[in-house]
Amino acid sequence: MPIKACVFDAYGTLFDVAAAAREAAAEPGREAFAAVWAKVATDWRLKQLQYTWLRAVADAHTDFWEVTQNGLDWALEASGLDDADLRERLLALYFELSAYPEVPAMLATLKAEGFATAILSNGEPNMLKGAVDSAGVADVLDDVISVQDVGVFKPHKSVYQLVNNRFGTRSDEVLFVSSNGWDAAHGAGFGFISVWVNRAGEPMDRLPWKPAHVLHDLTTIPDLARAG
């Protein structure tokens, strides 16, 4: 079937999740943080994701903003940092995450060629709005879909079903793009034409499903959409 909708995970796919820590580390007076910012960014993201999975399997849903704060608190403590001002600065910057350089032009190309475009994210709606507005890509997205509509985090099937509900598509008419290997795999298991954006060159996750495509960035997404 031809592709009708191109749907993207947000954090790590369109938006650089390390940007908040990297930008804070470059600010004057944050020398102690600058020495460990990369570790904090990695720990923060890992715990953020782990907490979504643990809450999903325990039926203990909360919004992604709480999970993001919990992950940051763990990461700061793990690096021996007890700095309320730094914590608040990092959380503020998370609302203004930078998009990867190729994102605006890629989305604009998809829109110009008639594909529906959307985000499908664990993110809480206000968080997603902040990132979308900061990146200046609101006008090239048809929708920003949050798991808040079903009350469970990815990779629950009900999350992926939100896309078909919104666009009236069959699963094989959707190009689903994620930088998370597990997310791309579960998208493939749901029936999407799935793309893993493997920016870090990681091994393939050992799951029952595999993405149809593996890319290093998002530049060639329009080519895959045209090819179906």
| d(C-alpha 72, C-alpha 95), whole Å | 14
Give the DSSP per-residue string, the chain. Answer: ----EEEE-SBTTTB-TTHHHHHHHTSTT-HHHHTTHHHHHHHHHHHHHHHHHHHHHTT----HHHHHHHHHHHHHHHTT---HHHHHHHHHHHTTPPBPTTHHHHHHHHHHTT-EEEEEESS-HHHHHHHHHHHT-GGG-SEEEEGGGTT--TT-HHHHHHHHHHH---GGGEEEEES-HHHHHHHHHHT-EEEEE-TT-PPPP-SS---SEEESSSTTHHHHHHH-
**In contact, 100 and 215? CB cutoff 8 Å:** no
**Which residue bears the tokens 């919004």?**
63
Active site (annotated) includes residue 9: yes
**In contact, 93 and 19? CB cutoff 8 Å:** yes
Which residues belong to the active site?
Answer: 9
